[in-house]
Chains A and B, each alone.
Chain A
Amino acid sequence: MSDRLKVFLVDDHGMFRAGVRAELGAHVDVVGEAATVAQAISLIAATEPDVVLLDVHMPDGGGRAVLEGIRKTYPQVRFLALSVSDAAEDVIGLIRAGARGYVTKTISPDDLVDAIRRVADGDAVFSPRLAGFVLDAFAARPDANVADPELDQLTNREREVLRLLARGYAYKEIAKELFISIKTVETHVSNVLRKLQMSNRYELSRWAADRRLL
């Protein structure tokens, strides 16, 4: 099978890498793994994987440093952040640095394979927790300073989709609930991701600034 996805693991915990490799082995090609930022940058450049599973917290710079080292030269490589951390500033910071999704390390193997496929297709992957953070960040506060309505606000539909994601609905279930196609759900989520990355909303900037990510 030549259309198997090439996946690269970046995590400083060897046990975790071994576990993920074993879980994913049947579905995708794990083409390499790295434990440090420098190692990751050189090996990703050498193997050119489709998707990189990226740990948020690592010594010398964390996932953010890997993203910055790779994204300019290899824009086709997609990143899926994988972390035990649920802190809003970690999650939002990684997404704003260019990751296309965020899942927690407790995710089930099937869901992880699903998320990798989705990211490889250019879609976004939001865990319920991330959907909650985004709803919080884009909450319609009367005092919110909206500079660019196109980027700084969510449409009602996008909000509905995020709410269902936060309630634990899968894309298929969301499509059924809202009487739209799965493709449309994916488009909405991708739009939210774009806003998340481009918007200058105060809350987002603040979250990122808390970790000196901007």
Chain B
Amino acid sequence: MPPQPPRPRLTRSRDDRLVAGVASGIAAHVGASPTLIRVAFVLLMVFNGLGALLYAVFWAVLPLAEGPPTPRRDPLRLLPFVLGGIGLIIAGSLFNSSDPGSMIAGWLIALIAIGAGIIWHQSQRASTPAASTPTTSWLSALASSRDRRMFLLRFISGAALVVAGVIGLLVVYSPGRVSIEWNDLWKAVLFALVAVAGVGLVAAPLLWRTLTALRSEREGRIREQERAELAAMVHDQVLHTLALIQRNAADASVVQRLARGQERSLRNWLYQPTGSPNEHFAAALEQAAAEIEDTYGLAVESVVVGDRPVDDRVAAVVAAAREAMVNAARHAGVRTISLYAEAEPGQLSVFVRDRGVGFDVETIEDMRHGVRGSIIGRMARHGGQAEIRSAPGEGTEVRLSVPVTVVREEASNE
């Protein structure tokens, strides 16, 4: 059996949505056309509003797909479905005219479902990273001050829909068709409101205190997390390195290597935005430099200007630069190597320089495979150039450059 591509999880779609992205989310999951699903929803409307009911339930239950911020919906695209739905309902009511009661009841149930859906609808903000602790419940949506107003609004409008639906159902299906006067209804609603307000007034201080406690507890937890992260960093790395330095105090080169490695990792931790060496040129080059530092116990003064995503050519440049650093570390007899790289829009250049013993470039034929194959050959294969400048006693500089396609700079600056 051939392996099947994994089916996307059942979510609400972000980028292709007419109302809430339910239809296209389902379509992506079952592998059908979104329009087909939409038409199905509209057709189901005829059966006492079943389509709307189902849609509301899906909307309330399905999580929003992950991805970039949602583009605005286009109301014009919704128009044909709305018109079709209205036409179907009118046609349906003509057919069903014998029993208007069940028709109305269906719609009222749909109304209640939408109201309940609005209340229980999975808040998107409630699952922000800061709140993604196991204790996250529907309460935390209430507790987070940012979307409390949103929640209140949603709650009130949802409750209004549910109440209206329930009252409507009562009116339609009241036992024995006892006619309920509108006047009585209003009075009842008024009394209910007064009762709810009274309870609210009594419970408000308690509720408020609970909310404040929840919020301060959450802030405390975040602080505690940060502290734990710092403690782990200090414990796992710094203390460990200090212990090693004490044990190797007699060996200057080991001490220096340990100190240098620790300095680098602290520095990265403090100043540099994390980037994956598999994705970013700068990170890949820094990683190569770090490996050289660790392996050969010397310092690589790296300066990288600009950045770009890693592709074949970029990877080749990084590999060639690494080889150049290895050569400098092995043969130049120096304590520091200068590494400079610049990612310009159309070109990538790397310079590896040492002030070591140098060599006569003319004798490169006798030189190791490293220079010919790993540097010059590799760069040539990827359409780039490698130039080696050196003279006995004057150090060596390897210059690598390769033309690259222009990439649009997106968020890489920030």
Q: Do A and B come from one complex?
A: yes
Question: Which residues from chain A sit less than 8 Å from chain B, CB to CB?
Answer: 85-87, 106, 128-129, 131-132, 135-136, 139, 141, 163, 166-169
A135: contacting residue among B271, B342, B353, CB under 8 A: B342
Interface hits, B376-406 → A, CB 8 Å: 397
Q: In the docked arrangement, what's the CA distance between A139 and B301, Å?
A: 21
Separation of A110 and B27 alpha carbons in the complex (Å) = 71
| Chain B 287-302 per-residue mask, 1 if CB under 8 angstroms from chain A, else 0 | 0000000000001010
Give CA–CA (A106, B260) in the complex, Å: 11
Q: With A86-B271, A87-B271, A168-B340 in contact, is A132–B305 under 8 Å at CB?
A: yes
Are A136 and B305 in contact, CB atoms less than 8 angstroms apart? yes
A136–B306 alpha-carbon span in the complex (Å): 6
> Which B-chain residue is minimally distant from A142 (CB atoms)?
B345
Asked whether, in the complex, the Cβ of A128 is within 8 Å of the Cβ of B303, the reply is yes
A residues near B299, Cβ cutoff 8 Å: 106
Which B residues are CB-close (under 8 A) to A86? 267, 271
* B270 sits at the interface (CB 8 A): yes
CB-defined contacts of A167 to chain B, threshold 8 Å: 303, 338, 340, 351, 353, 397
Residue contact B338 to A141, C-beta cutoff 8 Å: no
- If A132-B305, A169-B353 are given as contacts, then 17 extra A-B residue pairs at C-beta distance below 8 Å, sorted by A number, are A85-B271, A86-B271, A87-B271, A128-B303, A128-B338, A129-B301, A131-B303, A135-B305, A135-B342, A136-B305, A163-B340, A163-B342, A166-B342, A167-B303, A167-B338, A167-B353, A168-B338
Provide the residues of chain A in CB contact with B342, threshold 8 Å.
135, 163, 166
B-side contacts of A139, CB under 8 Å: 305-306
Given the interface contacts A86-B267, A166-B340, A167-B351, does A132 sit within 8 Å of B303 by beta carbon? yes
Give chain B's interface residues, CB within 8 Å of chain A.
Answer: 267, 270-271, 299, 301, 303-306, 338, 340, 342, 351, 353, 355, 397, 409
Q: B396 CB to closest chain A CB, in angstroms?
A: 12
Do B409 and A132 touch (CB < 8 A)? no
Task: State A131–B301 Cα separation when bound (angstroms).
Answer: 13
Task: Please name the 5 residue pairs, one residue from A and one from B, whose CB atoms are nearest each other, closest first.
Answer: A168-B338, A132-B303, A167-B340, A166-B303, A167-B351
Expressed in whole angstroms, the minimum distance between the Cβ of B158 and any Cβ of chain A is 43
Contacts A135-B342, A141-B409 given; indicate if A166 touches B353 (C-beta within 8 A): no
| A168: contacting residue among B270, B304, B353, CB under 8 A | B353
Contact of A129 among B303, B306, B353, B409 (CB under 8 A): B303
A167 to B342: give the CA distance in the assembly, Å: 10
Interface residue from A87, A131, A135 paired with B270 (Cβ < 8 Å): A87
